Structure formats: C-alpha cells, structure tokens
A and B are shown apart, each in its own frame.
Chain A
C-alpha cells in the first residue's frame, strides 16, 4: 500500500530492541490509524509496546539498541520510517508533537518555562526572541496558567506538577500540530489535577483541531476522552473498537480482564466482600514469548489451538478488530 487516506496510518510496524539476552520484539506487527480531529486511546499494561509505538512515530527510538525493522508509518504522503533526519526534525514538534509522563523531569531545569516554549516558535516559525516570548506567554494563557507573564520567567522547579504539565502541553501545542501524542500525560498527577488536565486537553483539541493519540493504562481516562481504542498486549494489537462498544461488549479475554479490574463503587462479590478482580499471571517477557497466542498463559478461555499458533487479527465489522480464536480462525 502507498499513500493513506488517514491522517496517520501505521502499517505492520516492527520495532525491536537488541539486548545481550536476545531480541526483544517490543512492537511486533502493529497496525492502526488516526483520523483528523479524533482522540484515539492506546491501552495496555506496562511493557505492552504502547510507548515504543509512540516513540517510533516520532523516530525517537534510541538506536542502538532499538530499531524500526519493518512496516510503514504514513503521514501526509511520507513514510516516517524512511524519512531523512532533517526532514523528520521539521515534522517533530511542528506537525507531530508529544508530551510525556513525567512533568517533573520533562522540562529542562536550567531554562525558564517561557524560554522553553519560545524555543518552539524560534525553531519552527523563525521568530526572533521577543516575538517568540510574546507567543509563549500567549500559549501559557491558553493552557490556563494564571499570571502567565510572571510564570513565563519562572523555572520548572518553581511550578507544581499540574502547572508543569500545562506548560508541557503549551509547548507541544505551540506550533499548532496536526497530531498530539500524549504518553500517559496524567499518570504522575493527583486525581483532581488529572481531571483538569484531561478537560484542558479536550478543550484544546477542539480549539486547535488536533488529533490526539492518548497512550495510557488507565481505562478511566479512555472512557472519558477517546472515541476509538486500540488495546495492545505484549507488542501486539489484540483488539480495536469504538470506545462505547468496547466498554459495553469487550471481545478479547484480555480486554475483558482489563475492564473487570477497574474498581467500581458499590459492587460486591457473592461472598459479600469488596474484591477487585485481577488478570492472573504476568505479562510475558518480550524475550521468551509463548509460541502461540501471547495471552494464552493468562487466558481463562485457553484452547489447544491457542498454544499452537498465533491468532490473526480478525475483522468483526464496523471497525471492530480482535485477535482471538474465540471468534473463528
């Protein structure tokens, strides 16, 4: 396939890490797409490859040990996997921006917030220092930081976690990117601040008409803001669906397990004790994956065929994909 009608289309992406113990297939044949203006949730446990997928899109995989060994990432007629570094730099930050999990450490401690945001305008818009600074202050205002003039000349350590994440969002949205990749942007924040940041992101997404790829392990976050969800497990996409159908009728046993492990108020088990269900077992190490389905060792519906070969991703219609033998071969 060549050009894509989607804003971003990932096809059969493979990102491997070479370690002393062997090759870790962190992202193994992952395909999905992102459309203009939508919020796509990418969910999975730690180590399922969701962050590596995001870093592959940005071409921020540390190489060595990592390497994109196969697949394509189509964006505006370009395959990002083969783009020249200089061309990739023009896209990074300007057209595809990213925010990270740790607002405490993602800002450079020796520069002011204003300087760090202004750098975006200087770099991608060729503005002078003063003009860039003015735009930076305006961005801080847009992310609802009070007294933006004063805050702009402060250093990261003078700001709270929530404020820093706002500053990170201001930096990411500075150049009005078409895609915003948010890698667990609320994980490190207090619950009340989490909600504020999510609200802000949703609002800014409307204002800036940005497509958002929201990476998280928190299904609550997904329910709140995503229209579509990609569920990943051990480097593979196991299920893909619109948010509502996914929550109402999860197909893949892993997705079901994930949904059951969300605590709900007022729910009690038969014994009358409040008990949270968990998915038994551990995520397999990427170096010694089971030969068949990667979820098989933890799956309550495990069958003989699951141990023999890996199920394909099947199309169940209306944008619903699932990788499981329960739905045919």
Chain B
C-alpha cells in the first residue's frame, strides 16, 4: 500500500513538472513579456533595463529554475491588469467554484447512482425507460443550452430562483461561503443543476450498466441463496462492486468540474475561477492564465491521487499488487 501511494505521488510530481514546462513556455515565449511590462513607448535602453531587472536576459534553464523556485513559494507573478499577485486573485475565487462543483457533484452522485440502481432493477418498466431516455438528453444537450433553458423557466417565467450571481455570502476565515445563507443556497440551485446534468447522466448510465452486469454474477446468486433480504443483496453485495468504476469516474468528473466549469460560470455570472480565467484570456493576462493552468493541474492530480487510493481501498485485487 505504501509503495502504491508512493508510486502515485512520484507520477503526480512528474506530470506537474511537465505542465510547468508548458506553462513556462507560454509565459516566456508567447509574446515578449518585457514589451508588455515596459509599455509601447519605452526606449531600447529602458527595455534592456527591464529585461535585466526581471532576469529575462539569463539563459533559459536558469529562468525555468527560477520559475519553479518561485512557483514552489506560491509566487506566480502579478496580474498585468490588476497588479496584485495572480495566485491570490485566483484563490479568492476558489471557494465559489469549489462550492458550485461540490454541490453539482453531490447531486450527480446521489441521483446518478440512486437512479442507476433503481433503473437496473426494473429495466423494462416505463419509468426506467423514461429515465434512460432522459439520460441520453443529459449527455447530448450542451451545458449552455441547459443553463439558458433553466434560467428561462425558473428565473424568468416562474421567477422562483435567481438566475445569476452568488447571492448573500458569509466570510469564514479566508473562505467566503454561500452555503450558510438561504439566499446563497437559492442562487446555487440553477448553476449546480446545470453543471450536474451531464455528470449525472454519465454516472447513471455507468451505474446501470455495472449493476446489470454484477446482478448476473454467480456471487449474487450466492447472496440470495444465503437468505439475505433484497436490500442487502443489492447494496452490500452488488452496488459495492459497481462502485469501483463509479468512484473512479466521479473523481475524474470532480476535477473537471472544479477546473473547467467556465461555461456554466459565465452563463450564471458566477464569481468563480472559470469566470476569472475567461476574463484573463480576453485581456491576455498571462500570469493569471499560467497560474490557473498550474492550479488546475495540481487540483486534478491531487483528486486523481485520492481516487486511486480510494480505488485501492474499494478493490482488494489492486491493494496487493
């Protein structure tokens, strides 16, 4: 188990290094940062001064080393636009995105797995067929359409849910949360549902397929032959086996939701990281973009590592490899 975790850690570090290299190249060679900083009307001498001041006259590997060193100290440079540290700018937005992604994942996981199990038990009943048809919709309708439709129905026609923003929030330490106020929760409903829709459909189909397969296994027959009640056979003996792929999938999805919920955040004017990224791309705010990519890579790698460990806990065959 220790070697297993250690191996995963080393893999994670290697991937992060690769990402950092790409980030460095973007930073350094996509347009001349010196020109951006010194301004259009700087003289040649001023440009050289700036170049020296920021160490940009040194060889590439020295620059890359310094980039890594700074990154390790949480220093990704300042935003060109707002002139504050890029990392701080992003981290400030992190709680909003995290809460949105977390809520969406919670909806997708509970409803996806729950409905998946129910559908697998009565595959030919008409409610099951309806759910399965709906899940196809969930997979094929793009997020922006779902979002706009939900805003139209619940925000505009019915007027029962706020269509944009985060609503009232409470600051707890560095974390600004919208989960503790009724207004904040209300604002969360539509974007979280929008974001959850696709993931829900994927998890539902995965659970259903897994359950159908596992329910036909011999060990399920054994479980029935033991005299176990249906609940135990289905949850303890069948679902526990199905959860192995489902948890892996959900982990991947969660990383994706945190890092790339840009479309949903834009539609609902959610003050999260995705919205910030989009803005930074418009303004070619490279430090923010690079920091965002590094942070996203870090988050996804961390989540995947947690999933890998969880996978080993769930699947005894992996544990002893």
- Taking Cβ atoms with an 8 Å cutoff, the residues of A that contact B are 58, 60, 86, 89-94, 97-98, 100, 102, 105-111, 119-120, 123-124, 155, 157-158, 168, 171
Residues 206-226 of chain B, each 1 if its beta carbon lies under 8 Å from chain A, else 0: 000000000001110111111
A58 and B225: CB pair below 8 A? yes
Which single residue of chain A is at the shortest CB-CB distance from B220? A108
A97-B226 Cα distance, complex, nearest whole Å: 7
Q: A92-B224, A123-B226, A124-B227 are in contact. Are A102 and B218 (CB under 8 A)?
A: yes
A155 and B317: CB pair below 8 A? yes
**Is residue B314 within 8 Å, beta carbon to beta carbon, of the partner chain?**
yes
Interface hub of B219, B223, B224, B226 (most chain A Cβ within 10 A): B226
Write the nearest CB–CB distance from B47 to chain A, whole angstroms. Answer: 65
Which single residue of chain A is at the shortest CB-CB distance from B226? A93
Which listed residue (B217, B227, B244, B315) contacts A92, Cβ 8 A? B227
The number of A-B residue pairs with CB atoms under 8 Å apart is 68
B222 and A106: CB pair below 8 A? yes
Write the nearest CB–CB distance from A78 to chain B, whole angstroms. Answer: 15
**Is residue B228 within 8 Å, beta carbon to beta carbon, of the partner chain?**
yes
A94-B227 Cα distance, complex, nearest whole Å: 7
B237 and A108: CB pair below 8 A? yes
**Is residue B240 within 8 Å, beta carbon to beta carbon, of the partner chain?**
yes
Q: A155-B316, A157-B316, A157-B317 are in contact. Are A106 and B227 (CB under 8 A)?
A: no
A60 and B219: CB pair below 8 A? no
- The binding surface of chain B is classed by DSSP as helix
Residues 94-132 of chain B, each 1 if its beta carbon lies under 8 Å from chain A, else 0: 000000000000000000000000000000000000000
B240 partner residues in chain A, CB cutoff 8 A: 108, 110-111
A79-B227 Cα distance, complex, nearest whole Å: 17
Known: A93-B227, A155-B316, A157-B317. 12 other contacts (CB 8 A): A89-B227, A89-B228, A93-B226, A100-B218, A100-B225, A108-B219, A110-B240, A110-B315, A111-B240, A123-B226, A123-B228, A157-B316
B217 partner residues in chain A, CB cutoff 8 A: 105
A100 and B221: CB pair below 8 A? yes
**Is residue B229 within 8 Å, beta carbon to beta carbon, of the partner chain?**
yes
- Taking Cβ atoms with an 8 Å cutoff, the residues of B that contact A are 217-219, 221-229, 237, 240-241, 244, 314-317, 320
A108-B219 Cα distance, complex, nearest whole Å: 5
A108-B233 Cα distance, complex, nearest whole Å: 11
Which listed residue (B222, B237, B244, B315) contacts A100, Cβ 8 A? B222
B229 and A89: CB pair below 8 A? yes
A60-B215 Cα distance, complex, nearest whole Å: 13
A37-B225 Cα distance, complex, nearest whole Å: 21
A138-B146 Cα distance, complex, nearest whole Å: 59
Which single residue of chain A is at the shortest CB-CB distance from B224? A60
Write the nearest CB–CB distance from A86 to chain B, whole angstroms. Answer: 8
A107 and B226: CB pair below 8 A? no
Q: A105-B217, A106-B218, A109-B316 are in contact. Are A91 and B227 (CB under 8 A)?
A: yes
B225 and A98: CB pair below 8 A? yes
A269-B277 Cα distance, complex, nearest whole Å: 87
Chain A to chain B contacts (Cβ below 8 Å), 21 pairs: A58-B224, A86-B229, A89-B227, A92-B224, A93-B226, A94-B227, A102-B218, A106-B218, A106-B221, A106-B222, A107-B219, A107-B222, A108-B219, A108-B240, A108-B241, A109-B241, A110-B240, A119-B228, A123-B227, A157-B316, A171-B222
A105 and B316: CB pair below 8 A? no
B228 and A97: CB pair below 8 A? no
A110 and B218: CB pair below 8 A? no
A106 partner residues in chain B, CB cutoff 8 A: 218-219, 221-222
Which listed residue (A90, A108, A123, A157) contacts B222, Cβ 8 A? A108
A124-B226 Cα distance, complex, nearest whole Å: 9
B226 and A109: CB pair below 8 A? no
B320 partner residues in chain A, CB cutoff 8 A: 158
B218 partner residues in chain A, CB cutoff 8 A: 100, 102, 105-106
Which listed residue (B226, B241, B315) contacts A120, Cβ 8 A? B226
B316 partner residues in chain A, CB cutoff 8 A: 109-110, 155, 157
Write the nearest CB–CB distance from B244 to chain A, whole angstroms. Answer: 8
Which listed residue (A86, A93, A110) contacts B225, Cβ 8 A? A93
B228 partner residues in chain A, CB cutoff 8 A: 89, 93, 119, 123
Write the nearest CB–CB distance from B1 to chain A, whole angstroms. Answer: 14
A110 and B226: CB pair below 8 A? no
Write the nearest CB–CB distance from A177 to chain B, whole angstroms. Answer: 10
Which single residue of chain B is at the shortest CB-CB distance from A154? B316
A110-B243 Cα distance, complex, nearest whole Å: 11
Write the nearest CB–CB distance from A75 to chain B, whole angstroms. Answer: 14
Which listed residue (B223, B225, B227, B317) contacts A109, Cβ 8 A? B317
A120 partner residues in chain B, CB cutoff 8 A: 226
A86-B240 Cα distance, complex, nearest whole Å: 24
B314 partner residues in chain A, CB cutoff 8 A: 110
A110 partner residues in chain B, CB cutoff 8 A: 240-241, 244, 314-316
A94-B225 Cα distance, complex, nearest whole Å: 9
A98 partner residues in chain B, CB cutoff 8 A: 225
B221 and A90: CB pair below 8 A? no
A109 and B224: CB pair below 8 A? no
Which single residue of chain B is at the shortest CB-CB distance from A175? B227
B229 and A109: CB pair below 8 A? no
A157 partner residues in chain B, CB cutoff 8 A: 316-317
B226 and A171: CB pair below 8 A? yes
A283-B69 Cα distance, complex, nearest whole Å: 77
